[in-house]
Amino acid sequence: MIVVLSRGISSHDKEMICAFLRERGFTLREQSLGDDEIIGAAGKAASDIQELALLPGVERVAATSKPFELASRETKNDDSIVTVGPVKIGGSRISIIAGPCAVESREQILETAERVRESGAVILRGGAFKPRTSPYAFQGLGMKGLEYMKAAGEALSMPIVTEVVSPERADQMKDLTDMFQIGARNMQNFELLKKVGALGKPVLLKRGPSATIEEWLLSAEYLLASGTRDVVLCERGIRTFETYTRNTLDISAIPVIKRLSHLPVIVDPSHAVGIRGMVSAAGLAAIAAGADGLTVEVHPEPDAALSDGPQSLYPSQFERLMRDIEALAPVVGKELLRTPHTTIPSCSGPDSRFPGAAEPPEGNLPLSGRIAFSGESGAYAEQALMRAFGEDAPRLACPSFSRLFDAVLDGSAGFGVVPVENSLAGSIHENYDLFLRYPDIAMVGELKLRIVHCLIAHETASLDTIRVVRSHSQGFVQCKDFLDKYPWRLEPCYNTAAAVASILKESASDRPAIAAIAGEAAARAHGLTVLKEGIETNPLNYTRFVIIARRNNGDAAPVPPSMGSGRSDKASLVFSVPDKPGSLVACLKIMSDREINMIKLESRPIQGQPWRYLFYVDVSLPKTGGEFNAALEELKTKTEDFHFLGAYRGAL
């Protein structure tokens, strides 16, 4: 069983708890699990849990039914998030690890790191010590290879993960690697598990080729019991009777692990199938099944690789896989993690930077570390915020979009998350108009969030008792087919989460008659019940959010750390044109002549000026800034009320 101790417990109370357990025949081990300080009590002794729970300093007691106590979801219900340098594995992120099977030379690992980093990988993998089936196969470069890998990781701002093959090597390697990998062959090397666990570094634990899920989790238990807090499980295929692939990828293990354990789980599709042409399909299937990330073998010249060349992707194949993952991520309710470079790759030429392009912030978030969103806890904007900045990001809830812009402008928040467009209901013009009122605010990032609407009510409510439904007006539009079936009165609120919160403000007798349309997160945040899930008219329902920040000195704005990897590839601008024939065509021709692809054009009436319109334009940026800068300068001569809203990395 697990005894979770109260925060700030006195040494006397802790000793009394330990004495209580020892007197009853338990073997004890003290451990930290996430933010909790715990005592693990092992053995077949019996104890009254209620009596134990009443002792001073006991927060709660978890009596697990599983032999893997520390790894069990019975011990820790919330998903664990493992931190490796700037990378977080688990939660709402998809984290991609990539690199060669083995480090072959300084040049090879650096080139590979550059290629996978450019495509979006956040952790560099590679073997310095290679356990091989044949004693004559390439065994790796040893410590020299690890030094090459560490240097490549530091040059590209990527933490590294590498395999440790013996307890004796662990001490030598600990200062050169950010994360240890326990390979499939060593999953049940218990002395190695105890040694690596005691070093306290994050560990990537691969499943053995013939291991059951319980055996795999018990190996994770060795690591957790020995001292490390951070374990990531890696499914890499198991040995079956099938011979058409290297192993059989056990996709079903992903949801099973998610039910049994709080630990994050990633998948190694390269070792699972062993055939280059199948790796991407297996990786995408793993993401669809709920994996928190992938570890993929990539080599600049796979046919010349000294190890596992047939299953290593070419960099171009890996880039395509990353694009597919980014497109799939919103469907499974996640966001592809990107991390910032500590240095900006140099660009030649005086016009290499786009207007409003940004430098990553030095150190922490600029101004305030908080990120502003509109609404209450559980709002879709808060979910978008967590996708972009992480679940633990400090946040500032604002009662309106204008107050959100104010918070970013006055420094109360370093960034803001603002919805601007929905795939069903169209543009949110209110927020586009705010960019014109706040010229010192710029768009610096973008992400898409899949919107799954739920009918939420008090536990005493049912479809028969409901008389009133509250939500944002967009929520009503997006759920029209469902709402048309019922004679309910619709009451608009400024935010979907606020609609949910309003139910609790009603008297107990009135609550059964009130429902709200919002996301499941809002129901959890306010302790209410989901009566029906997925009530939106079209399941392909996405909202586009932009990340906003204050321009520095009226020019560049800081880039969100989670979106700092990769150059800006999209820009947004607004302008009006003179009231004369061909004026809009002339503007569009400026972009066409320079082969700048326009991906959105929308008109909007100018308030107070009947029959005059603003044009909102999104474009794909060319690879160099010169053509785009020249186009902007020419556009300013052909337009009126020209506004450059920002350049940023677009979401797929």
**Cβ neighbours of 542 (radius 10 Å):** 17
Query: Which residue matches tokens 């604002």?
Result: 398
Secondary structure of residue 401 in the 3-state scheme? helix
DSSP state of 513: G
Lookup: tokens for 353: 């930077």
Cα gap 629→599, rounded to integer Å: 18
Cα gap 269→249, rounded to integer Å: 7
Query: Which residue matches tokens 């904007």?
Result: 381
Contact status, residue 306 vs residue 333, Cβ threshold 8 Å? no
Please, which residues bridge with residue 204 across strands?
A: 181, 232
> What value, to the nearest 5°, has the Cα angle with vertex 598 and ends 597 and 603?
170
Q: Which of 285, 563, 272 has its CA nearest to residue 444? A: 563
Contact status, residue 229 vs residue 33, Cβ threshold 8 Å? yes
Cα gap 447→424, rounded to integer Å: 16
Q: What are φ and ψ of residue 202, in 5° steps? A: -60, 150
Contact status, residue 287 vs residue 94, Cβ threshold 8 Å? yes
Q: Which residues of 466-485 are buried (b: 16+ CB within 10 A; e: fewer)?
A: bebbbbbebbbbbbeebbee
Contact status, residue 292 vs residue 264, Cβ threshold 8 Å? yes
With the C-alpha atoms ordered 146, 150, 155, 157, is the resulting torsion angle positive or negative? positive
Q: How far is CA 32 from the centre of its chain?
A: 25
For β-strands 454-457 and 426-427, DSSP reports them as unpaired
Secondary structure of residue 374 in the 3-state scheme? strand
Please, which residues bridge with residue 30 across strands?
A: 39
Q: What are φ and ψ of residue 98, in 5° steps? A: -150, 155
Catalytic residues: 543, 545
Cα gap 348→33, rounded to integer Å: 49
Residue 330: HSE in the Cβ half-sphere, 13 Å Cα cutoff: 23
Cα gap 100→305, rounded to integer Å: 9
Q: How far is CA 438 from the centre of its chain?
A: 29
Lookup: tokens for 531: 């009566």
Structural Rg of the chain based on CA atoms: 27
Maximum distance among all Cα pairs of the chain, rounded to whole angstroms: 93
Cα gap 375→499, rounded to integer Å: 10
Give the type of residue at 29: R
Give the type of residue at 93: R
Give the type of residue at 54: L
Lookup: tokens for 177: 């690697």
Lookup: tokens for 245: 């692939």
Please, which residues bridge with residue 397 across strands?
A: 373
Lookup: tokens for 68: 């893997």
Q: Which residues of 268-295 are buried (b: 16+ CB within 10 A; e: fewer)?
A: bbbbbbbebebbbebbbbbbebbbbbbb
User: Ramachandran region of residue 369, left (φ > 0), alpha (ψ -120 to 50) or beta?
Assistant: alpha
Cα gap 181→417, rounded to integer Å: 36
